[in-house]
Structure 1
Amino acid sequence: MSHDAGARRPWVDSEVAALREVVLHRPGGELRRLTPANKAELLFDELVWVDRAQQEHDALAETLAGQGVAVRWLTDLLTQALADPADRAALAAELVTADTVGVELVNRVRAHLGELDAPEFVATIIEGLTVTDVAGAGDGLVTGVVGGGGFLLPPTTNLTFTRDPSAWIGPGRLMARMSRAVRRTERRLWDYAYAGHPNPAVARSPVWYGAGGRVGQPATIEGGDVLVLSPRCVAIGISERSHPVAAENLASALFANGVCEEVLAIDLPKSRTTMHLDTVLTVVDHDAVVWWPGLPEVARCWRITPGHPRLRVACEPDLRAALARGLGVDALRVVTTADDRVLADREQWDDGNNTLAVRPGAVIAYEAGGCGWLALGCGWLALGDVDRLDGDLQLAGRGLIGDLLAHARAQQGGAQRRLRADDHGLIGAVLPAAEQHLEPLAVAVGDRDDVAVGDGVADRRALADLGVGQGVLELADAGLELSLLLLGDLVLGVLADVAVLTSGLDGRGGLGAPARLELL
């Protein structure tokens, strides 16, 4: 979310413009409610290592804050919005009804919630409520059947995915109509979260579609299927979770309010692997996207524009050309996580194409989702592992990159350059002697000579250019768990299980024009 500098109006008209503010939810007790028996119902493929998830999420929040992004926490906004007991009672009455808990338990469950203060109430709504949590609730038919561990209020296990219940488009927002019943409490919580935001312009912002929280089947739509390509064009995925009826309705609402001039409706296979548009396609620069290589084969695209009295709809046979036009560029650079289709499908399953741009060319992505292949595909050579969460290297990588930048600027006046033989002392001089035995250190070297050859992959000889012994730098399989530290004129920093990649991407696998050196 970005803000108008004067009026402080929230505004989003690009996927890659400088990010100013985000709302996050730290994984918590709701994920400890997952069991082998209920994980599928709660939309998880496997149980979650919660402590590790929290560490990784903390790393993400720290990275964003380090980039000047204001990080707000969903629980804080909800606690503020629900400070008044009357507001908590109203939400409890909405969530606890005869249809959700049965006539015998309605008053008991509402009374239980009424005894909680705002932080406790918010935690309970998020983490869920079982029969054993409510005194005297275990003596009726409903509780007798579901048992003591049965949920009276299900946990909001997907709340960490804050992109889905709401999406900003221009100066307003989509309030999602969630496809799965188990996620509809999340959507309602976002109404309260916006009401609790300290900037009153947020709560006053228009809702283009989905106001009131009503779910009109089949017209469901979720935020993960909305990409704001440019001020004039929005892409909407038609997926397992978002229906063409809702896509058409949202497009009509955007046109009626003058929000955009064109909508690209991208029809995806209705399967778990292509759940949302942002699992197969995300924007990483003004003219570049990361996509699953199978996308052009399975997706169909329509261009929707305003018409009177009906919308104009035209089939777009070339997805790449349609996206380029939507982004306002002549040619689209496309990056994939792997050239091999088997590997690409594996990386896509792990959300390898699901990235977040904090500014043009500076991207945060899942480490396990194929960033190693992404790096190699762009002419980067990835070596080893840097800044692990388990503490093996503590923050050695971050100190290294900072000193390298200072060293380079001092010698070159800030000019961009590639590491060559004259940089022999750069690595060894930076790492303290006590740390030089640590292995392996992650580095990516873009070999421009190799790019000229045309295969787009750095040669092993690039290691010799660095003049560093194999005791420090060891070639590793990029498919392993990597925290990439990309050095020189190509690359960005790293943190925990979040890999950050920068600009200079060339759809042919080359490095393109020199990119700015940025530290995340």
Structure 2
Amino acid sequence: MTLSNSEFKLDVTSEIGNLRALLIHSPDNGLGKVVPSKAQDWLFEDIVHLDTMRKNEYDYYVKLLMYFLDPDKIKGQLAKIDAEENNRSFYKPDDKKFHASNKVIEIQTLLEDILQDTDIRKNLVAAVCAIEGCNYRLQTELTDTAAAELAKIIISGSLNKDEMIFAPIPNLIFSRDIGIAINNFMLLNKPAKKARARETLIMRYIFFNHTLFASYRNNILEIPETVQHFLRPGEDNDQKTTLEGGDVMMVSPQHLIIGCSERTSVSGANEAIKLLFKNDVVKKVTIVKIPHKRDYMHIDTIFTQVKRNMWVLLRSLAITESPEEQDEPIAWFTDKKGKDKVEIVQFRKGKKTKTFNTIEDLLADVSERDLESKEKTQFVYSGGDIFPYNSREQWTDSCNLLAIKEGVVLGYDRNDKTVEAFKEKGFKIIKVADLLTKFESGELDPDSMTDTLILMPSAELSRARGGFHCMSMPLMRDKIL
């Protein structure tokens, strides 16, 4: 099924405007084939139970997104959908009866679409086989495979139900890391680990070849390598050019935040700034350097936006140190002594750089200056800023929330102290299963919801080390007024 939408626009100007379209990837069979000996190489902390993740967790996410973004395809059908789910995987990407939406868009569906083209299929199969070291006969076999089946194989790594031909790409569920919409541009990222190379390749082919993005092909930005990068020694050199979407936040129409973290290098941030300023995409970019630790991974694991004047934050990382003034990021963060400190510097096109003393100062500046909030900026702290719950709950993504509209955010149900902190700020708390029932009965309406934390089941999803901010690539949001 080819997705096309005359109403589709690539347009993201904030983290909190009403979400209108996004890219996701529902858990595929590859996630059920991660083995303990390779879990960390494939960037997972643990192995997951696939059916539980699908039926009891991610399925709720898809249904909730459909109610907010594409309600005509779910409203009044929930009982039927739930009944059919007892017999089959209704939430799978290749299920055309329910989850075929131009607003809640599956990566696998887009991949299947472009694979209908013979030349694209040959080129992409050749590229995948080169990355994965496949033999020529297998490459020929894959080239001759029908598009729908081939899309599954490329993503899952399995030729059939049981025969694996190359590694899965389980991190594809974290769709944000592969690309970020910035106004009406798309920044394609450069993941730090080889385990995500196939994901990057897939997304390049989709954005440059799918009809959905045909009007924006000149607005697709790719992070280049630095000059003479091929002379760089070592696999994990600090200057390797990497940038992942969890470290990129579109906080206002002219302001982008980029984190330098375990997964995004200073070189990657530097190249991104050059691209963005050269193409007049934004006027300022703020770099937030955080400790290179697995605990944090990306900046969206330590803060995300809830409302115009509210953020959820790990307070223990709020204190920063300002470095000496330099002209570009490459020169700012070269002192290895500061490796475990937070540093913040803002680059403004045609103006002098600016520094911030704390993450809270930066976020307050975004709220009160960029977004012109009339109210004082508020912070909800991970674990209520109580040790050890602050660290425990940050590990299970208490700070990694997706705003589906301003003040309505999705988070995991396991972070009890953070939930209490939201209650203290006057937020309503509701479990997703109860919310869907109220939507279906008409007791609640998505458009009228305000100041609500929606609790999502998380036993298996949280093992993958990412929340719903990670599991979304917004393509279209309403502008906030």
Normalised to the residue count of structure 1, the TM-score between the two structures is: 0.66
- Tell me which amino acid in the other structure corresponds to 1:122: A
Cα distance change on mapping 1:190 and 1:90 into 2, 3 Å: same
Partners of 2:169 and 2:195 within 8 A in 1? yes
- Tell me which amino acid in the other structure corresponds to 2:175: T
Deviation at 1:205, TM superposition (A): 4.8
Cα distance change on mapping 1:87 and 1:250 into 2, 3 Å: same
Partners of 1:88 and 1:114 within 8 A in 2? yes
Partners of 1:264 and 1:303 within 8 A in 2? yes
**Hey, what does 2:52 align to over in structure 1?**
52
Q: How does 1:343-382 map to 2 (within 5 A)?
A: 343-370=389-416, 371-379=418-426
Cα distance change on mapping 1:231 and 1:265 into 2, 3 Å: same
The percent of aligned pairs where both chains have the same amino acid is 25
- Which of these residues, 320, 323, 326, is aligned with residue 366 of structure 2? 326
Deviation at 1:195, TM superposition (A): 4.3
- Tell me which amino acid in the other structure corresponds to 2:402: L
C-alpha distance in structure 1 between counterparts of 2:285 and 2:138, whole Å? 45
C-alpha distance in structure 1 between counterparts of 2:63 and 2:218, whole Å? 28
Q: Over alpha carbons, which structure has the higher Rg?
A: 1
Q: How does 1:2-151 map to 2 (within 5 A)?
A: 8-55=8-55, 56-68=57-69, 70-97=103-130, 100-101=132-133, 106-129=135-158
Deviation at 1:405, TM superposition (A): 6.0
SS of the aligned residue for 1:122 comes to helix
Partners of 2:413 and 2:455 within 8 A in 1? no
Deviation at 1:22, TM superposition (A): 0.8
- The range that moved more, 228-237 or 247-256, is 247-256
- Tell me which amino acid in the other structure corresponds to 1:253: L
Partners of 1:82 and 1:118 within 8 A in 2? yes
Deviation at 1:497, TM superposition (A): 5.5
Cα distance change on mapping 1:197 and 1:21 into 2, 3 Å: farther
Cα distance change on mapping 1:153 and 1:493 into 2, 3 Å: closer
C-alpha distance in structure 2 between counterparts of 1:115 and 1:92, whole Å? 10
**Hey, what does 2:464 align to over in structure 1?**
none
Deviation at 1:225, TM superposition (A): 0.5
- Which of these residues, 323, 336, 355, is aligned with residue 381 of structure 2? 336
- Tell me which amino acid in the other structure corresponds to 2:116: A
- The range that moved more, 326-335 or 171-180, is 326-335
Cα distance change on mapping 1:224 and 1:271 into 2, 3 Å: same
Structure with greater contact order relative to length (CA < 8 Å, sep ≥ 6): 2
- Tell me which amino acid in the other structure corresponds to 2:366: G
**Hey, what does 1:477 align to over in structure 2?**
none
Cα distance change on mapping 1:115 and 1:242 into 2, 3 Å: same
C-alpha distance in structure 1 between counterparts of 2:451 and 2:147, whole Å? 47
- Tell me which amino acid in the other structure corresponds to 2:315: P
C-alpha distance in structure 2 between counterparts of 1:494 and 1:340, whole Å? 21
1:210-231 deviations in Å (ceiling 9; x for gaps): 279x996611001110001101
Q: How does 1:430-445 map to 2 (within 5 A)?
A: none
**Hey, what does 2:167 align to over in structure 1?**
154
Partners of 1:336 and 1:377 within 8 A in 2? no
- The range that moved more, 278-287 or 327-336, is 327-336
1:118-158 deviations in Å (ceiling 9; x for gaps): 1111111111158xx79xxxxxxxxxxxxx98x75321111
Cα distance change on mapping 1:495 and 1:270 into 2, 3 Å: closer
SS of the aligned residue for 2:199 comes to helix
Do residues 281 (structure 1) and 303 (structure 2) align? yes
1:24-57 deviations in Å (ceiling 9; x for gaps): 1110111122111111111111111111211221
C-alpha distance in structure 2 between counterparts of 1:396 and 1:167, whole Å? 29
Runs of 5+ unmatched residues, structure 2: 71-102, 230-238, 320-340, 460-481
- Tell me which amino acid in the other structure corresponds to 1:241: R
**Hey, what does 1:226 align to over in structure 2?**
248
- Which of these residues, 217, 221, 236, is aligned with residue 204 of structure 1? 217
Partners of 1:8 and 1:201 within 8 A in 2? no
Deviation at 1:115, TM superposition (A): 3.2
- The range that moved more, 184-193 or 220-229, is 184-193
- Tell me which amino acid in the other structure corresponds to 2:240: P
Cα distance change on mapping 1:381 and 1:180 into 2, 3 Å: same
- The range that moved more, 365-374 or 21-30, is 365-374
**Hey, what does 1:253 align to over in structure 2?**
275
Deviation at 1:7, TM superposition (A): 7.8
C-alpha distance in structure 2 between counterparts of 1:396 and 1:152, whole Å? 41
Cα distance change on mapping 1:89 and 1:397 into 2, 3 Å: closer
Deviation at 1:108, TM superposition (A): 2.1
Cα distance change on mapping 1:39 and 1:306 into 2, 3 Å: same
1:484-508 deviations in Å (ceiling 9; x for gaps): xx9xx8546666569xxxxxxxxxx
Do residues 244 (structure 1) and 266 (structure 2) align? yes
Deviation at 1:348, TM superposition (A): 0.5
Cα distance change on mapping 1:205 and 1:291 into 2, 3 Å: farther
Normalised to the residue count of structure 2, the TM-score between the two structures is: 0.71
Partners of 2:412 and 2:455 within 8 A in 1? no
- Tell me which amino acid in the other structure corresponds to 1:182: A
